[in-house]
Amino acid sequence: MGYLGLDACVRLPMRVDAARLAAEIHRLPQEVWSRAERGPVVFAAVESFFAVGYPRGSKSTAADDRPALAHLPYLREILHEILPSPMRALVARQSAQGLIPIHTDDRRYFRRTVRLSIQVEADGPQRLYCDGLWYDLGPGEVWALNNLVPHGVKNTSGRGRINVIADFLPSSELVELILNGDHGLGVRGEAARLELEAISRAQYRKYRWQSIFYGIVKRWRRRGER
C-alpha cells in the first residue's frame, strides 16, 4: 500500500455477503483450524487455515487452492471471480477478547503485494489500529490495509472475530478498486492508542520465550534460504 502512495487503510467500493460466507466457514470441521507456526506472539489469539497459497517463507510460493477451499464455494467465487486471484489467502478466527498486538509485517515478503481484509463476522464494528489511526471495520466490508506499518486489533466482543486476509499482486483492476474506495476514514484516538500499546507490550512480555525461540528458528531458516 505504501509504495502505491495510498492511505494506510482504504475501504473498497464493494461488499460481500458476510452471513453467507460465515455460514460456509462455520460448517467446516474444527480440525481445519490450527495455530500458526510462525509469529507466536502476534497470532497467540488466532486460529487459521490457508484457503489459497502457503505461509510466507515456505518452500512453495505457488498460489494453489488448498483443500479447505473446495468446501467454501462462495469464498472461492470472491477470491477468483469477484477479486483478482490472490497469491495467498488465510481465513483467521480471533478469539473473544483476543489481541493481535501492534506489529509490522516483514517487508521481505510483502513489499510487492497488496493486502485485503474481508470482514466476515464480529459483534459490531471492530476497531483496527494502523499507522497512528483507527478504522472501524464492519462485516461484509473489504479493506485494503498497509501491513508494512505498525498495526494491531483487539477483539472487544464476547465471541470470535472472523476475517479473510488475502495478498494480491497490484493489478490494474485492484489498483482501480483502491483508488475508487473510501479514503481518509481513519481517526485519531490517543487514549485508545496508549491502551493498545500497553496491552501489546504485556503480550510480548508474556510470550517472550516463545518469541526468542521463534527468532532463533527464523534466523536459521533464513540462512537455509541463502
Which tops the pLDDT comparison, 51 or 106? 51
Q: Which SS3 state, helix, strand or coil, does residue 212 take? A: helix
Which pLDDT belongs to residue 65? 96
The confidence score (pLDDT) of residue 204 equals 92
Grid coordinates representing 129 are 489500529
pLDDT digits (tens, 9 = 90+) for 121-159: 988 778 999 999 999 999 999 999 999 999 999 998 889
The answer, yes or no, to whether residue 209 has pLDDT greater than 80, is no
Cell of residue 60, nine digits:
512453495
pLDDT in tens, 33-91: 998 766 788 999 999 999 999 987 677 778 999 999 999 999 999 999 999 999 999 99
Share of the chain above pLDDT 90, in %: 73
Of the candidates 56, 87, 82, 70, the one whose C-alpha atom is nearest the C-alpha of residue 166 is 87
Take residue 226 and report the three cell numbers written for it. Answer: 541463502
Q: Which one-letter DSSP state was computed for residue 120?
A: E
Which DSSP symbol is given to 64? Answer: P
Q: What is the CATH number for 18?
A: 2.60.120.330
Cα–Cα–Cα angle for 149, 181, 140, nearest 5°? Answer: 85
Please state the domain count of the chain: 1
Asked whether the predicted pLDDT for residue 161 surpasses 60, the reply is yes
How far apart are the C-alpha atoms of 196 and 74, rounded to whole Å? 34
pLDDT at 212: 65
CA dist 78 and 217 (Å) reads 35
Give yes or no for a contact between 63 and 79, defined as CB atoms under 8 angstroms apart.
no
Question: Residue 3 pLDDT more than 60?
Answer: no
As a whole number, the mean pLDDT across the chain is 89
**CB neighbourhood size of 210 (10 A):** 13
For residues 15 and 141, the answer to whether their CB atoms sit within 8 Å is yes
Report pTM.
0.89
Domain with 183 in it: 2-225
Per-residue pLDDT, 148: 92
Tell me what pLDDT residue 211 has. 67
